[in-house]
Structure 1
Amino acid sequence: MGKSFEQYQKQKLISSYFSVMLSIALVLFLLGILGLLVINTKKMADHFKEQITISVFLKDEAKESEVDQLQKTLLQAEHTKAAIYVSKEEAAKQHSEEIGEDFQDFLGYNPLKNSIDVQLKAAFVTPEQIEEIAQNLSAKTYVEEVSYDKPLVGLLSENVKRISFWILVASGVFTFIAFLLINSSIRLSIYSKRFIIKTMQMVGATKGFIRRPFIWTNVKLGMLGALIATAVLAVVLYYLDKNFPELELFEDIEILAVLFGAIFITGILISLVCTFFATQRFLNLRTDELYY
C-alpha cells in the first residue's frame, strides 16, 4: 500500500514537472515566433527602403572623367548600396520597351539624359537624409537634376515608424502574458508543496534553504523548456526556408543566434523570478492560511 502511494506521488510529481516544462516551452516558442516576426518585419521594411532610387541626371557636356569620378565617389560613400550608370541610349531603349513603341521616331531625337541611379542603404532612407544627399549632388556643376519620389519616401518612413511602434507594443504585451502564464504554472506546482514548505520552516529551516531546491528545480525546467522551444523553432525555420527560400531566413545567422540565446535566457530568468516570489508567498503565510 505504501509502495503504491509512493509510486502515485512520484507520478504526480513527474506530471507536475512535465506540465510546467511544457507550459514554459509553449510560451517561449510563441515568443520566438514573435521575435522572428519582428526580425523579418525589419528586413522587409529595409527591402522596400532600398528600392528607393535617386536619379542623378547629368548635363550633356559632362566629361567622362567627371561622371566616372562621381560614380566611384558614390560607390565608396557609406550611404550607397548601388550606383548604376545609365546612358541616354539605354534609358531610351528601356522606355521604348515599357510603352511598346519607339518614341524617338516621333520626336526625331533622344530627349533623355545620361544618369546615375543611386540606391541607398535602408538606414539612410529618411526624408531628411535623402534631401541632404540630393542637395549635395545638385551642387555639382555637371549635374542637371536630382530626382526621387519625395511623397513615397515620406509615406514609407511614416508607415515603418507606425508598424515598428505597434510591433513593440505587441512584443511588450506578449512578454507580459508569457510571464503571467509561466508564473501561474510554477505557482500551481509550488502550491501542491505548500505543506512541505511550512513543515520545513517549522523545524527551523531558513527561507533561503527552503527556496534553493525549488528555484534550482524550476530553473532546470525553464532550461529544458527553452531548449524544446528553440528546437521546435529551428524545425519551423528549416521548413519555412525550404518552402519559401525567398524569405532568406538563414541569411542573418548572428541575429538568429541572438534570438535563440534570448529565448534560453528568458526561460531561465522568468523561472527564477516566478519561483522566488511563489515560494516567498507560501513562506510568509500562517499555517491556518494554507488551507485557503
Structure 2
Amino acid sequence: MASSFDKFQKRRLISSYFSVVLSVFLVLFLLGMLGLFIINSKRLSDNFKEDIVMTVFFKNEATDTVFKAFDAEMKVGKFAKDFKYISKDDAAKQHKDIIGEDFMKFLGTNPLYNSYDIHLKSEFVTNPGFANMETQIRKNPMVADVVYDKQLITLVNDNIKKITLWVLVISGVFAIISVLLINSSLRLSIYANRFIIKTMQLVGATKEFIRKPFVRRSVILGIIGSVLAIFAIVGVLFYINFNYPTIDIFKDLNLTIAVLVGVLVMGILITWISTHFATQRFLNLRTDDLY
C-alpha cells in the first residue's frame, strides 16, 4: 500500500511540475512572439509603405541628358528611397507579358512613355509627402504626368495606426493574463503541499526556511519553461527567415536577443514572485483553514 501511495504521490508531483513548465512555456512563447512582432512592426510597416510606387512619365521629347539630370536629382533628394528607369520598349514588353498580346501590332506604334518608378522613404509615404514630391517633379518641363494611388496611401496609414493601437492593447491584456495563468499553476502546485508547509511550521521551521525550497523549485521550473520557449521562438524565427527572406527578421539582432533574454528573465521573476506570495498565504493560514 505504501508503495502504491508513493507511486501515486510521485505521479501527482510530476504532473504538477509538468503543468507548471507547460504553462510557463506556452505563455512566454506567445509573449516572446508578440514582443518580436512589436519591435519589428515599424520595420514591417515601413517596408509595406515603401512598396507603394510613384510613376513619373516623361514626354517623348526627353533626351538622355534629361534622364541623367533626373537621376542626379533623385539621388541627392530626400524623398526617394530608390528609383528605376523603365523605357517605353521595356514597358511595352511588360504589357505584352501581362495581356498576352502584342498591342503594337494593332496600333503600329508604341504609345507608351519612358518612365521612372519611384519608391519613397517610409516617413514621406503620406498624401502630403507624395504631394510635395509631385510638386517638385512637375517643375521639370519634360515630365508628362505623375501617377500614384492616393486612396491606397490613406488606407495604409490608417490601418497601420489601428493595428498598432490594437497590438498594444492586446499586449497589455495578454501580459496580465499570462501572469495570472502562471500564478494559478504555481498556487495549485503549492496547494498540494500545504500540509507539509504547515507541519514544518509547527515544528519550528522559519518562514524563510520553508519558503526557500519551494521558490528554488519554481524558479528551476520557470527556467526550464523559459528555455523551451526560447528554443521554440528561435525555431519560428529561422522558419520565417528561410521561407520569407525579404522580411529580414534577424536585421535587428540586438533587439531580438534582448527579447529572448527578457523571456528568460520573465520566467524567473514571475515564478519567484508567484511562489513567494503563494507560500506566504499558506504560512499565514491557521491549521483549521487548511481543510
Query: Which TM-score band (shorter chain)?
Result: 0.7 to 0.9
Native 8 Å contact 1:104 1:110 kept in 2 = no
Native 8 Å contact 1:241 1:247 kept in 2 = yes
What's the CA shift for 1:185?
Answer: 0.6
- Residue 51 of structure 2 aligns to a residue whose secondary structure is coil
Q: Which sections of structure 1, spanning at least 5 residues, go unmatched? A: none
Aligned to 1:252: 250
Matches within 5 A, 1:1-292: 12-34=12-34, 45-59=45-59, 64-75=64-75, 80-95=80-95, 97-99=97-99, 100-103=101-104, 106=107, 110-140=110-140, 142-201=142-201, 207-236=207-236, 245-246=243-244, 251-252=249-250, 254=253, 256-291=256-291
- What percent of counterpart residues are identical? 47
What's the CA shift for 1:214?
Answer: 2.8
What's the CA shift for 1:202?
Answer: 5.4
Distance 1:64 1:112 in 2: 17
Residues 96-134 of structure 1: CA distance to partner in whole angstroms, max 9, x if unpaired?
55453435863x765544322111344543333333333
Residue type of the alignment partner of 1:179:
V
Q: Which sections of structure 2, spanning at least 5 residues, go unmatched? A: none
Distance 2:241 2:93 in 1: 38
Residue type of the alignment partner of 1:102:
F
Change (3 A) 1:136 1:283: farther
Distance 1:72 1:205 in 2: 81
Distance 1:97 1:21 in 2: 56
Residue type of the alignment partner of 2:163:
I
Residue type of the alignment partner of 2:250:
D
Distance 1:204 1:142 in 2: 94
Change (3 A) 1:248 1:102: closer
Q: For structure 1, which segment, 186-195 or 72-81, has the greater mean C-alpha deviation from structure 2 after superposition?
A: 72-81
What's the CA shift for 1:221?
Answer: 1.1
Distance 1:285 1:259 in 2: 39
Q: For structure 1, which segment, 252-261 or 14-23, has the greater mean C-alpha deviation from structure 2 after superposition?
A: 252-261
- Residue 85 of structure 2 aligns to a residue whose secondary structure is strand
- Residue 84 of structure 1 aligns to a residue whose secondary structure is strand
Aligned residues: 288
Change (3 A) 1:109 1:236: closer
Distance 2:132 2:211 in 1: 60
What's the CA shift for 1:274?
Answer: 1.8
Distance 2:233 2:169 in 1: 23
What's the CA shift for 1:33?
Answer: 4.9
Residues 16-50 of structure 1: CA distance to partner in whole angstroms, max 9, x if unpaired?
32331122123323444555666787676555433
Change (3 A) 1:259 1:127: farther
Change (3 A) 1:137 1:201: farther
What TM-score comes out, normalization by structure 2 length? 0.76
Q: For structure 1, which segment, 216-225 or 93-102, has the greater mean C-alpha deviation from structure 2 after superposition?
A: 93-102
RMSD of Structure 2 on Structure 1 (CA): 3.8
Native 8 Å contact 1:237 1:249 kept in 2 = no
Change (3 A) 1:280 1:80: farther
Distance 2:277 2:69 in 1: 66
Residue type of the alignment partner of 1:135:
T
Change (3 A) 1:18 1:160: same
Change (3 A) 1:261 1:66: farther
